[in-house]
Amino acid sequence: MNLPLLQRDLIRKPIVWLRVASLGLLLGTALLLLGQSRAAWELPIWMQIVVYGSLLSGMVGIMAQKWAKWLSVRMALASATLLCLAVMGWWSRGFPWALVIEHTLFWTTPIWLWMAISGKNWTVGARVATALTFIGHGTYALGFPFGVPDGFTEMTTRILPISHAAALDFLFVAGVLDMVVALAILFPKAGKYALLYAAAWGLITAFARPVSYIEWSDWAGTTFRWSPEMLIRLTHGLTPLAIYLAEFYQPETSVSQPQSTQGDF
């Protein structure tokens, strides 16, 4: 059944998916932090208030357009908070370069949202951020330089009926494709198809977290436990989708339904 024209136009607007990606990042990060133990969350109370406050402020600006005053400040503060949290994670792991570049979309997505809403050229920067994220992700899948993470192989074998050795082969192919797609994204013509692949694969890997670890005896608890990981990674698929829609999708026109000048979402 076909969606009404208004609904079809709405879901084809890149700003809509940038909003969903940014909201997922902020909400997922907040839920992930709330689920951590006090030992893992070693920040003074005042700093925790700043972190949660900036995440909440960003979510309010994204969801409620009538409250979206100072959106540039809200998104800048949210991105800065995400970057600080990412740096803390890099620091605890010894600054692995693959993780550093894989987190590019993690802290830049709210910036692309603000630029898109403001009518600025955001797709060039978002292309670079997406390419870096996929290079980082592909590097881990290829097992360079410290081997394939156990979590990657575990998720693969839990979802697919294959052995550990077959999972490593599967991940190697996925890693090579990640590298090819990351490079292709940077080129206008090849990037059209690379962005579609990145959108599909990014969403698959995001949903792989809750799907692979779900326990049917406690499906609600395990799904909720892994949902923050999924929400944070939605941008890996939704940002390339938004770029594709912004650069390659030509919206339908209708003389009976003039284009609205109101907000996109």
pLDDT per residue as tens digits for the range 14-68: 999 999 999 999 999 999 888 765 444 566 788 888 999 999 999 998 987 665 5
pLDDT category of residue 133 using cuts at 50, 70 and 90: very high
DSSP calls for the chain:
-PPPHHHHHHHT-HHHHHHHHHHHHHHHHHHHHHHS-TTT----HHHHHHHHHHHHHHHHHHH-GGG-TTHHHHHHHHHHHHHHHHHHHHHHTT--HHHHHHTHHHHHHHHHHHHHHTT---HHHHHHHHHHHHHHHHHHHHTTTT---HHHHHHHHHHSS--HHHHHHHHHHHHHHHHHHHHHHTSHHHHHHHHHHHHHHHHHHHHHHHHHH--GGGHHHHHHHHHHHHHHHTHHHHHHHHHHHHHH------TTSPPP-S---
pLDDT category of residue 251 using cuts at 50, 70 and 90: low
Ranked by mean pLDDT, the top range of 210-219, 232-241, 254-263 is: 232-241
Residue 226 pLDDT exceeds 60: yes
Residue 259 pLDDT exceeds 50: no
- Averaged pLDDT, 177-204: 93
Enter the pTM of the model: 0.86
pLDDT category of residue 93 using cuts at 50, 70 and 90: confident
Q: Where are the domains of the chain?
A: 8-248
More confident residue, 181 or 67: 181
At residue 145, the pLDDT reads 77
**For a pLDDT cut of 90, what percent of the chain falls above it?**
58
- Averaged pLDDT, 96-109: 94
Residue 129 pLDDT exceeds 50: yes
Q: What is the pLDDT of residues 231-247, one digit of tens each?
A: 999 999 999 999 999 99
